[in-house]
Amino acid sequence: MASIVGSIRSLLVPIRREGWPFIAVLLFLAAFLGWFWLPLAAIFLILAGWCTYFFRDPDRVTPTDPALAVSPADGRVAAVTLVVAPPELGLGEQTRRRISIFMSVFNCHVNRAPVAGRVARIVYAPGEFFNAELDKASEANERNSLVIETPTGPVAVVQIAGLVARRIVCFTREGADLLMGERFGLIRFGSRLDVYLPMSAEVLVRVGQTAIAGETPLARFAAPAAEPAPRAV
């Protein structure tokens, strides 16, 4: 019996607690409306099933190579560009590599840390709700930014609200230590994440590629310069 229960649990994907209120309301409406008109109840049952699927939180196998940065979100690589990071990140005026991941309403929306390090800064910025695929969404849309200190320098990951997304959730805090691939937040109902990397990082993905949060390598950091060997005297 124990083995059967274990097998069933292994097949069930955990659901984020943030999703249960939505699921409960939809199930209640389906049950209530079922007394009056079954087709309408069926619509709400379908919506409850979709909401359950949306808030899924599967385990992921994160690479152990500390020289990698992994995708913070499930979705499609929407852009790989060279830009100056938004001023609220405090990263200066130097050009950085930005990799953008667009999440549709069918992607898992749990966000994961692209690198391991200490959360040096969390900045929330109010804004608009343009289509998250537009380039201007990086600075015009509502967003929540994390700056993570790493041995190779600061890396920023920005949660950006989209046309449908209206709620950004962040689980972590300033001063916290994050592991690569660790959950740090989610965005409800479709949006985008930007990762800002140093110019020395080697990009490993291409536009249009599918990325998996916590698993897909986005970039590889350059190895630190070796210290010169001491001279014999």
Per-position pLDDT tens, the chain of length 233 = 434 333 333 445 677 777 777 788 888 888 888 787 888 888 888 888 877 877 778 889 999 999 999 999 999 999 999 999 988 899 999 999 999 999 887 888 899 999 999 999 999 988 777 666 677 777 778 899 999 999 989 999 999 987 665 678 898 999 999 999 999 998 877 688 999 999 999 999 999 999 999 999 999 998 754 444 444 43
Query: Can you tell me the distance from the alpha carbon of 111 to that of 27, in angstroms, rounded to the nearest whole number?
Result: 26
Number of domains in the chain: 2
pLDDT for 5 equals: 33
pLDDT for 131 equals: 67
113 and 207 in a common domain: yes
Give φ, ψ of 59 to 5 degrees. -70, 150
Secondary structure percentages of the chain, helix, strand, coil, to 5: 20, 35, 45
142 and 94 in a common domain: yes
* Domain membership of residue 36 as a residue range: 2-54
103 and 33 in a common domain: no
Residues labelled catalytic? 191
CATH number at 129 reads 2.70.70
38 and 123 in a common domain: no
Query: Can you tell me the distance from the alpha carbon of 40 to that of 143, in angstroms, rounded to the nearest whole number?
Result: 36
107 and 31 in a common domain: no
Q: What is the pTM of this model?
A: 0.80
Least Cα distance to 199 among 114, 121, 93, 106 occurs for 93
78 and 140 in a common domain: yes
Residue 154, Cβ density class (10 Å: 0-12 exposed, 13-18 middle, ≥19 buried)? buried
User: Which regions of 153-209 does DSSP assign to beta strands (E)?
Assistant: 153-161, 168-170, 177-178, 183-187, 191-197, 202-203
Identify whether 154 is part of a domain.
yes
Structural contact between residues 221 and 97, judged by C-beta atoms closer than 8 angstroms:
no
122 and 38 in a common domain: no
140 and 41 in a common domain: no
Query: Can you tell me the distance from the alpha carbon of 120 to that of 116, in angstroms, rounded to the nearest whole number?
Result: 12
Give φ, ψ of 217 to 5 degrees. -70, 125
Amino acid at 170: C
